[in-house]
Structure 1
Amino acid sequence: MQVYLPIAEMSVNALLVLVMGGLVGFLSGMFGVGGGFLMTPLLIFIGVPPAIAVGTQANQLVAASVSGVLAHWRRNNVDVKMGVVMLAGGFVGTAIGVWIFGLLQRMGQIDFAITVSYVFFLGTIGAMMLVESSRAMLRRRAPSGGRGKLHRHSWLHGLPLKMRFQRSKLYISALLPAGIGLVGGMLVAIMGIGGGFILVPAMIYILNMPTGLVAGTSLFQIIFTTAVATLLQAASNQTVDVMLAFLLLVGGVVGAQFGTRTGTRLRGEHARLMLSLLVVGVALMLAWGLVVRPDDLFSITSGVS
């Protein structure tokens, strides 16, 4: 069934969009990543303009993240205090990101900037996660000579403004989660992603949060940053298509519930390995789109004076 998208000015298959929303919602609940890193490329692949894809699918992340957080909340897997501190930086980052997005849009470089950003971030983070998760699996199989340290500390843990997070059993500088939230907020606005593929590894390897709390806390923060990003994108850049957002919302809410149930059955290193393979695969597909010969070599517009 074809439906018309008024802002994108094109028709799409409604069933296809619903399935895409369900798939991204499933990943959101399973890994706590929001799923936007996959949804934006998928929308671009079916012909939705990149600027519309970014602005609209951030709205879908709100519903998918709410659905996922509720499931994690019932299992007591959300560190609310950590999420609130991350939000403080996330709101600032979102405002900055929307401003940068509008600037690039006025320059006519937003489509290229979105694609290049995806290739760089997804490729880098995906490769790092792939190496780390593979090593973790090998260490688990190898005999252990003794118990290692629970946390590894670096100069980052010597920063001021220390705060105690009882749920995560951490005593760290509030600047760390706030800084991670700021980066996540910028990514929401510029790339239309929840930032989970960066937030989740950062929360594990920089903050040393327990893996079981990471997904729920990440989704808690994503709810509010994506909601703010959607409102700002609609008001400032007019890049939110309501019809497309509705279809993605319906699929995302359903998929997140199934994803959360599946995620609780996976080991931490197995989940990270699967996520890294998915991230690297999407990056390679987008990189191929940048170098492959297009069907139309030139696009010329002319006005009549």
Structure 2
Amino acid sequence: MDVYLPIANLSVNGFVIIVLGFGTGILSGLFGVGGGFLTTPLLIFYGIPPTVAAASAATQVTGASVSGVLAHSRRKGVDYRMGGVLVGGGIIGAMFGALLFRALQSLGQIDVVINILYVLMLGTIGSLMMREALGVLLPGRIGKSEQPRKRRHHPLVASLPYRWRFYSSGLYISPLAPMLLGVVVGILTMLMGVGGGFLLVPAMLYLLGMSGNVVVGTSLFQILFVTMVTTMTHALTTKAVDIVLAGLLLVGSVLGAQFGTQIALKARPEILRLLLAGLVLLIAVRMLWGLGVQPDEIYTVSPL
């Protein structure tokens, strides 16, 4: 089933793109993340230009996050005040990321930067996830299993001024901390097409000290609006959003999210994290290898 992508300017197998979206949708249902941190590199492997892959993946994450926010909202699992601060910071970050994206694009370095960022990000995340999963499954070999510490925000967060009460999260902290976190996630969303849940969830738990029952829902709330702004910014500035590609990804991700939710109810979370860590590290190694080898087609730009 060949489908022409007008922005990417190439034909692809539509079924393969839907299956790819289905896989990232499963991750969304399993772990509460948008799945964009794997969608973009997988699209690049398939031959989609990195700029189009990043912009279109952000569009797909927007659609995939809607159902998640609605589900968590029904069970009061979203801190809307915290989410609003994160969204505000994310929009600022997305605007700054757009300027950075255009600057790197004009220099002809955006594809290389996207690949390098993904190698660093996926390598770090995969290593941490692998260590955590093995620490639970093999406590005698990895080291003694630590008792979970009492939830508490980071001392740097506690030192910031102008504190607000976030009742749903059980916090009394400065809004500057979640706003700065939102800015970082907004920049990554703009440059890499990721939702940011892989960064937001642990940061909200271990830096902000949020209550665990609202972390995933609040993360998806922020992802929804920031990726929406990112998509609009890409469409108006970089012109890199391929709506056909995003639509195929969205069809697969909506189906995959439902399937992933069912798996999460039955499988051991440690096994799932170990499998995801292995997949993330494998993709990081593949992208690192791609940065070092000579491409199949070499282009040079020389004056006439």
* TM-score, normalised via structure 1 length: 0.89
1:254-300 Cα shifts (integer Å, max 9, x gaps): 2223323444556766665554443323222211211234333x313
The one-letter amino acid of 1:242's match is I
Please give the residue correspondences for 1:201-216 in structure 2 after superposition, counting only pairs within 5 Å.
201-216=202-217
Alpha-carbon distance between aligned partners in 2 of 1:153 and 1:80, rounded to the nearest angstrom: 22
Contact 1:69–1:220, Cα closer than 8 Å, also in 2: yes
Report the CA distance shift for 1:145/1:184 in structure 2 as closer, same or farther (over 3 A).
Answer: closer
Please give the residue correspondences for 1:127-276 in structure 2 after superposition, counting only pairs within 5 Å.
127-135=127-135, 148-151=149-152, 153-263=154-264, 272-276=273-277
Deviates more, 1:234-243 or 1:76-85: 76-85
Deviates more, 1:87-96 or 1:265-274: 265-274
Correspondence 1:122 to 2:122: yes
Alpha-carbon distance between aligned partners in 2 of 1:22 and 1:144, rounded to the nearest angstrom: 35
Report the CA distance shift for 1:120/1:146 in structure 2 as closer, same or farther (over 3 A).
Answer: closer
Residue 239 of structure 1 aligns to a residue whose secondary structure is coil
Q: What displacement does 1:173 show?
A: 2.0
Residue 168 of structure 1 aligns to a residue whose secondary structure is coil
Report the CA distance shift for 1:235/1:153 in structure 2 as closer, same or farther (over 3 A).
Answer: closer
Report the CA distance shift for 1:106/1:169 in structure 2 as closer, same or farther (over 3 A).
Answer: same
2:86 match: 86
Contact 1:31–1:275, Cα closer than 8 Å, also in 2: no
Correspondence 1:18 to 2:18: yes
Report the CA distance shift for 1:29/1:223 in structure 2 as closer, same or farther (over 3 A).
Answer: same
2:30 match: 30
Alpha-carbon distance between aligned partners in 2 of 1:165 and 1:266, rounded to the nearest angstrom: 33
1:74 match: 74
* TM-score, normalised via structure 2 length: 0.89
Alpha-carbon distance between aligned partners in 2 of 1:166 and 1:28, rounded to the nearest angstrom: 27
Report the CA distance shift for 1:272/1:72 in structure 2 as closer, same or farther (over 3 A).
Answer: farther
- Structure 1, unmatched stretches of 5+, are none
Report the CA distance shift for 1:117/1:111 in structure 2 as closer, same or farther (over 3 A).
Answer: same
Alpha-carbon distance between aligned partners in 2 of 1:93 and 1:284, rounded to the nearest angstrom: 28
Contact 2:54–2:193, Cα closer than 8 Å, also in 1: yes
1:233-271 Cα shifts (integer Å, max 9, x gaps): 111111011111111121122222332344455676666
Contact 1:71–1:257, Cα closer than 8 Å, also in 2: no
Q: What displacement does 1:152 show?
A: 6.1
Deviates more, 1:274-283 or 1:99-108: 274-283
Alpha-carbon distance between aligned partners in 2 of 1:206 and 1:14, rounded to the nearest angstrom: 41
Alpha-carbon distance between aligned partners in 2 of 1:218 and 1:145, rounded to the nearest angstrom: 26
Report the CA distance shift for 1:148/1:2 in structure 2 as closer, same or farther (over 3 A).
Answer: closer
Report the CA distance shift for 1:293/1:77 in structure 2 as closer, same or farther (over 3 A).
Answer: same
Alpha-carbon distance between aligned partners in 1 of 2:265 and 2:217, rounded to the nearest angstrom: 11
Contact 2:19–2:252, Cα closer than 8 Å, also in 1: yes
Report the CA distance shift for 1:283/1:212 in structure 2 as closer, same or farther (over 3 A).
Answer: farther
Deviates more, 1:64-73 or 1:129-138: 129-138
Residue 12 of structure 1 aligns to a residue whose secondary structure is strand
1:58 match: 58
Contact 1:92–1:185, Cα closer than 8 Å, also in 2: yes
- Structure 2, unmatched stretches of 5+, are none
Contact 1:203–1:214, Cα closer than 8 Å, also in 2: yes
The one-letter amino acid of 2:202's match is P
Q: What is the count of residue pairs matched by the alignment?
A: 303
Alpha-carbon distance between aligned partners in 2 of 1:78 and 1:22, rounded to the nearest angstrom: 25
